[in-house]
Chain A
Amino acid sequence: MWLLLLVPALPLVASVVIVLARPAPTTASRWAVLAAAGAVVAAVVLLGGLVASALWSLVLTDDRGRALLGLTADRVGAVLALLTVLVGLVIQSFAARALEGDPGQRRFAVLAGVLTGSTALVALSATGLGLAVGWVATGAALVGLVGHHRPWPQAVDAASRTRRAFAVSDVALVVAVLIMVLVAGDVDLRDLAPTASSLSNQRLPGPGQVSWLTVTAMLLVVAGIARSALVPVHRWLPATIAAPTPVSALLHAGVVNGIGVLLLRFSPIVGASAPALWLAFVAGTVTALLATGVMLVRTDVKGGLAWSTAGQMGFMTVQLAVGAPAAALFHLLGHAMYKAALFLGAGGAISAQRRARHLPHSPAPLPRPARLAIAVLVPAASIAVTMIVITAALGARLTVASSTLVVVFGWLCTARLVNGWLRAATPSPSPSIVALGVLAGAAAPAGYIAAVVAFEAALGDAVSEALPAAVGATWLWATLALAAIGVATLWIAGGASGARWRRRLYVALVGAGAPPLASQSRPSGAPTSPVRRSGDGHPRPDTRMPPAAARAIPDELAIAAVRADVTTASQLIAPSWPLTSFVAVNPLGGFAHLDFDEACARARRWFGATTHLSLERYRALHRSGEIADAQLHVAILASDPGLASIAPVRLGERDVNATELVRRDLLAGPTPEDDQRTDGRAGTPRSASVDAYVASWCAAFIDEAGAALGMPDRDLGFFRSWRRLAEVDPRLRRLVGHHGHAWVMGLPQDPAAALQRALDALGVTEDDRLDALRALVVRLPGWAALGRWADEWAPADHPGPRLGVLDLVTVVAVLDVASHPRAASTEPEAESELEPERETAQLDRRIAWVIESTSTGPVTEEQRTGVADILRRVPEPTRAAIWLTAHEGGFRDRLLGLLQRVDPGPLVERPAAQLVHCIDVRSEVLRRHLEGLGPYETFGFAGFFGVPTRWRPLGSDAAEARCPVLVTPRHTSGEALADNSWSSTLPIPRALAAARGAAHDAKGSLGSPFALAESAGWLLGPAAALRTVAPTFMRRIGRPWRRLAAPPRTRAVVGLPFDQQVLYAEAIVQTMGMRRFAPLIVLCGHRSATVNNPHASSLDCGACAGAPGGASARVAAAVLNDPAVRERLAEGGTSINEDAWFVAAEHETVSDRVAILDRHLVPGRLAGALAQLERDLDIAGARTAAERAVRLPGDPGQVRHRGRDWAQVRPEWGLAGNAAMVIGPRSVTRELPLAGRAFLHDYRADADPDGTALETILTAPLIVAQWISAQYYFSTVSPGVFGAGDKMVHNPVGGVGVTLGDIGDLAMGLPRQSVAFGDLLGHDPLRLLAVVQAPLERIEGIMARNRELRDLVEQRWITVAGRSHGHEGWSLRSPSGTWQTWHPAEHQTAPIALEPP
């Protein structure tokens, strides 16, 4: 009996203990997991006990035997309680890893515990009062959890929406319970019959003679409607996308099922009231239709899931209302598990999109009629047979409602599944796949019906009969028929009006699902800017159509100029690649031609970004010794050499010189008020409504993942297709009014022409136009960045739609005119520079502080002026710039200190093997450890191994670039079966393609998702639970499957013409300066295997366009092993020993394991050497992982398994910490502990007399390294603008990017978790230091010829250190063009190792 108490009590008690004891957050999570696990055990035992007995109770009763207080469990209660605590366990366990480093981790553990315990209380309470207490507590805990990311506005809004909806629900339930208590005397949930009859016998005073029972039942249904997000109280649920992923999972698997729990537990009361059940039926039907419809148009993962949940809740409510409570419970459980699994795995959408691109897509093997016939008839026949067998032969029975729902929705779902499977399956020779589809079509519905019947039987008749069929079968059929007719009419209706109605429906669904538009009025205090009014200064735009004559040639000229200006304005923002192949770029690339400080100033001004660490952080680095005093001194003088010649100021008893004053100010002077602020565009965006509206259409347009209902006419381009829909868009009418709408409709079709019209209406003159356009570009910087990619970088054959900057800016401008006719801004929204008055006040504070802290006596005006004159030379941004210089100086001194030894030259003996690795910083660690194990020689080279090619995997129809994005590959290489025999494993990708097609089809229609969710949940749920709670176990049982699915033996087929193969082969050998060749030469690419990680490709090879590097290694090895190529190389003077063999390999950077690729191609004579190398690679990998584990927070024992853990938000930190690139022979860096902080590119100046190889290195790999460095820098210092925020609120959109929470702007850069752990930074934000061992004049010559490179150096984006020979000291290249001998700031410093950040 006491077990009953344990189920709700354990999680609650754990929460109380955590609040009182305040353990470390990770400990708190562990306690919460233990408590939840205990509750699960108790619930399982409880359920087991109920097989024998019908009811368990632990109650305090009054003298009539009615419950006053206590817990009770029948089978329904026990099942619900088990589900609750099981979900609680999974979520707590997930969050224990996923929220590591989150400041709210402990709070989460507490609130999730409260939520779990109180939900269990709702399921198990013996009295209405206890249930109400649990209900209210659940809601309160959920509101707290939804607001996890306060004060983020989306979180605040979501929490307040949830609170309001729950308040309705709480009040309704509490009033209902009070009525029961006051009118009927008690609410004993073990036996509600007396309460029900007492309520029905008493009537409300008044004319209607309504019974108390009706009122109570209606209130209960209302409480359920609000809690389960049914229309009209449904808006809160989509808003909760702003909550962290585990909260969403907890919510969608548990809390949202409120109406089901309530109606089941109060079934004697609700069941006795037909009006209440009718209310539930109507709300459920409307919600199921509306929310499922919205789900079909959503292109974001979490939005789709949230709307799907609302639809599923509607469906479940219908099941309850038509008298199928057991089916409803089956649905509740199945859907809960389904949705929890999908939410937890939401981060996997981008990787799935990436994989899907390479699944075989071929025409259907069957003609459409045959396919449809199979899809429709096979499940139908199967269902008919199953129903007959079950009812007639076995004597089992379902209620009428249950049978109807099972038959209709089971059939719909299976038909869609089979159709999708057959459509995606490839043509012959895969009849097995077709057969499998037919078989599944027959088996699935039979299994599904059998499961429902078995479930109902297990629960017993009491449950099946708990709710009467208040809404009869006739009504149910009528509703279904009506919905079917409606859908069919819409789809079949031809002609313009049919299309128009479909557009209308599409727009309505997008509008219904879009986040609410913010207040349209300009927020007071928001920055406004000088506006040029058109003509007479009349504030309204001239929205009349100009006469035709006015739109002749002059207009066209203006339009061409506008087009050009959009291009120029878009340079403000760096391009952003889709996450499927996320390439690192310098986020300030648009300003790369400017001095770094100036570029930072512009980034602050235009984007509201922070560009440096806060002063407090720099000071902490100084206190910890990371920044030495001497460095600070050097940096101060470097910033303003004039300070040295200023006469000291006499303060108190002594003269204080200028550098000392500045130093004091830097070390302890007052910080600006916003020093610690999170960055982001300041204030409220000027037109939040317009931006939100445009973002919702961007998301609809860009979809590459394939929403079930896609945006029509996308081939017209964004502006045109949007405008066609805008005609019927009521949301647009709300946004811009009737007048504005008419104006939009009168615009030209061409986006540039429309933009020109909008700019005219805003009164923008030609002189202002560029800045006005820039202000438009930064309104939605994430979408604009993707637009720049589409305009300038997207490959010609990119399959997805293109949303260019011109189209984007046009829509924003047009809506600005239509909604805010008053103002064209030529200023950015963000104005984070201190305003002049604030800056003056801040300077005064600093002056006062410096004087006060230095002098005790009275201060003369002269002294004050002296101090002020000095500090005025160091304005606020310069303080941070000095700190950055000092920070970099420390690193530079340590690195050059390490490298200052005389180059010892290469190893003497011929190495057993040579390994060529990518320049990636992660390679350095592995190379160092491997070299320590034997006579191995390693090289660093760009990870595409110098062969620019596209790559088509086996069985795929798509090819993608596998080289730096700076190069456009002109040829395609691919994968072919190694031996021409048919491979038995090839059907697996085909089956995967078919399965994906099946799931896509089944999710993507109005009727099929219901049966899918309730049946798939029983498979997905347990798998998700095991993945979370026992990841190691899941890894083990996954092994045989992975072996089964292992790719067949293949080989790389080189697609480049022979002459180019020779050219590139020569370039590889010469650029690295390879002079001798070992018998075994391994070309080792790299990849990072992570799951549930939208930014997975950011950890892959940057030199392979954000893809794994193995393919490039295979192609390069195939080229270099080709005897014909070698022959031509030898003719050119580069001879490769005959016994040398190139082997491709891939370094997986989470596990640090190296896999040999194409092993079957390696000659037998090398087997021994290869085996030895693999053993050494294993050891080196283990040591590499151990070295990395020190830096990575969390369990060091798990460091190699983190990639497979779907709850792990920091699978690796390998790239974090990058700070330098060393270009020179490996002997310069060999054996030195570089801590994985340096890109290493091999180069031998003597093998490159004309400097061609060095020019290649400095113009390509160095640029790529600088982009990575800059991306890490700005993601660290500016997480809100150039970083992608918190992973836990990432919402993958359209298969191309993520938004934070609900659809809005796309996030740019790297997630916070990639560069930080709580307050601890995982990356040192430093500008790249390039260390080059080559003749200095050669470096100069290359810089003189290459402007981009010269800009990087002379505008201080990178620092270059060089030395002509290995026995010389290092010199630093100054921005002004001179080389100065390097001396460490502190001569006494003897650097030992580079510390990881």
Chain B
Amino acid sequence: MSEQSEQSADRGLTPMTKIEVIMDGADEAAVRSLFLGAGASGYTAVTGVSGFGHHGHHQGRMLFNDRASLSMLITVVPNDRAEVVVAGIRRLLDERRGVLFVTPTAVSRPEYFSELSTEQEGQH
């Protein structure tokens, strides 16, 4: 981590964490709201993902069913938010099908990825 951070800093990039989730298309909305609820400022969605794995073959995009195939959601968050995002997704994946990848990454425009949407607590 530290080595990579140094490399990133050398290149003028800001180290962050990339979180990728591949799940049933039907669960896409849930994962999106977990991303945003945990403070991610956005995400990228790839629908109709095909592949092969633990649950056998997965068909890609269906002509008239966007929800039966797999989707992939990708977000990038500051390292200190990653734990929170992961906590929610892991908990969801305890009950639902899907996989989660967490990798260190580096971004050129850190301000795009660091808006916190959650409010401070205890205020009204």
Contact = CB atoms under 8 A, between A and B. Distances in A.
Contacts of B2: none
A1256 interface: yes
Contacts of A1260: 62-65
A1039 interface: no
B63 A563 contact: no
Interface string A492-532: 00000000000000000000000000000000000000000
A678 interface: no
B92 A551 contact: no
A752 interface: yes
Contacts of A968: 66
A47 to B, nearest CB: 63
A1347 interface: yes
Contacts of A1067: 63
A541 B58 CA distance: 47
A465 interface: no
A557 B34 CA distance: 12
A844 interface: no
A564 B88 contact: yes
Contact of B34 (A563, A750, A1255, A1261): A563
A146 to B, nearest CB: 43
B114 to A, nearest CB: 16
A750 B38 CA distance: 11
Given A791-B33, A964-B64, A1344-B56, A749 B124 contact: yes
B95 interface: yes
Given A564-B89, A749-B121, A792-B30, A1345 B59 contact: yes
Contacts of B58: 1345
B65 A567 contact: no
Interface string A744-772: 01111110110000000000000000100
Interface in A481-501: none
Interface residues on B, range: 35 or more
A619 B59 CA distance: 45
Given A567-B34, A568-B96, A551 B122 contact: yes
A558 B87 CA distance: 8
Contact of B83 (A553, A567, A946, A1347): A553
Contacts of B65: 964, 966-967, 1259-1260, 1263
A948 interface: yes
B22 to A, nearest CB: 14
A750 B119 CA distance: 7
B74 interface: no
B5 to A, nearest CB: 20
Contact of A749 (B55, B68, B96, B123): B123
Contacts of A750: 118-119, 121
Nearest to A968: B66
Contact of B88 (A563, A948, A966): A563
Contact of A1256 (B33, B64, B84): B64
A560 B59 contact: no
A560 B66 contact: no
B104 interface: no
Contact of B55 (A545, A792, A1263, A1347): A1347
A565 interface: yes
A1122 interface: no
A727 B59 CA distance: 52
Given A560-B84, A749-B123, A567 B30 contact: yes
A1346 B56 CA distance: 10
A745 B26 contact: no
Contacts of B18: none
A79 to B, nearest CB: 58
A1348 B59 CA distance: 11
B57 interface: yes
A540 interface: no
26 contacts: A553-B83, A553-B84, A560-B38, A560-B85, A563-B34, A564-B30, A564-B34, A568-B95, A727-B124, A745-B124, A746-B122, A749-B119, A749-B123, A750-B121, A752-B37, A753-B121, A942-B64, A946-B63, A966-B67, A1255-B62, A1259-B64, A1259-B68, A1261-B64, A1344-B57, A1345-B58, A1346-B59
Given A748-B121, A1348-B68, 11 more contacts: A556-B84, A557-B87, A561-B88, A564-B89, A564-B91, A746-B122, A792-B29, A1252-B63, A1256-B64, A1259-B65, A1349-B68
4 interchain residue pairs of minimum CB distance: A560-B88, A1260-B64, A748-B121, A564-B91
Interface of A: 545, 548, 551, 553, 555-561, 563-565, 567-568, 723-724, 727, 745-750, 752-753, 770, 791-793, 942, 946, 948, 963-964, 966-968, 1067, 1252, 1255-1256, 1259-1261, 1263, 1344-1349
Interface of B: 26-27, 29-30, 33-34, 37-38, 55-59, 62-68, 83-85, 87-92, 95-96, 118-124
